[in-house]
Amino acid sequence: MKQMLSCIEKITGKDLDRDQVRLLNPLVLAFIGDTVYDLFIRTYLIYNHDLPVHQLHVKASGFVRAGSQSRTLHDIESFLTEDELNIVRRGRNAKSGTIPKNADVTEYRWATGLESLLGYLFLLGQEERICQLFDLILKK
């Protein structure tokens, strides 16, 4: 991940320090965090299941639905730092303007909190912390 961020910094000529990342709109953090979560889950499934693509997709969908993400966040919440909980709160309280048809508002907001956290950690290059959280997530 750090190599990817380094590559992006070279290409754009820009880097984001901790304060800049913290000040990003939580929906921007969720925008990238959604992809971090999805990529991790899909990669995990490929490593652990020899299945056709459609079945991998079905399994991945079970993880990345708003309801599943909401439950996941509740499962790991007690392991989060105060800083991480603040990012989650900001993401949870952000008003996105749209709610997916297959999720209730509360689940969707908690899922956005999880995605905001993952986006925040990713943009800070906190690979080890992301791995710790995914380890907790997959053990639940």
In this predicted model, what pLDDT tens digit does every residue of 66-88 receive, in sequence order?
999 999 999 999 999 999 999 99
CATH class as words, domain 2-139:
mainly alpha
Alpha helices in the chain (DSSP H): 2-12, 18-23, 26-48, 53-64, 66-76, 82-93, 105-123, 127-139
At residue 15, does pLDDT exceed 80? Answer: yes
CA dihedral (87, 93, 97, 103) positive or negative: positive
Mean pLDDT of 96-112: 85
The total of other beta-carbon atoms located within 10 Å of residue 121's CB is 23
- Record the pTM: 0.94
Q: Which residues are catalytic?
A: 34
14: left (phi over 0), alpha (psi -120 to 50) or beta: beta
Distance (Å, rounded) from C-alpha 88 to C-alpha 120? Answer: 10
Which tokens sit at 116? 């905001």
Give the number of other CB atoms < 10 A from CB of residue 113. 27
Tokens of 126: 């906190």
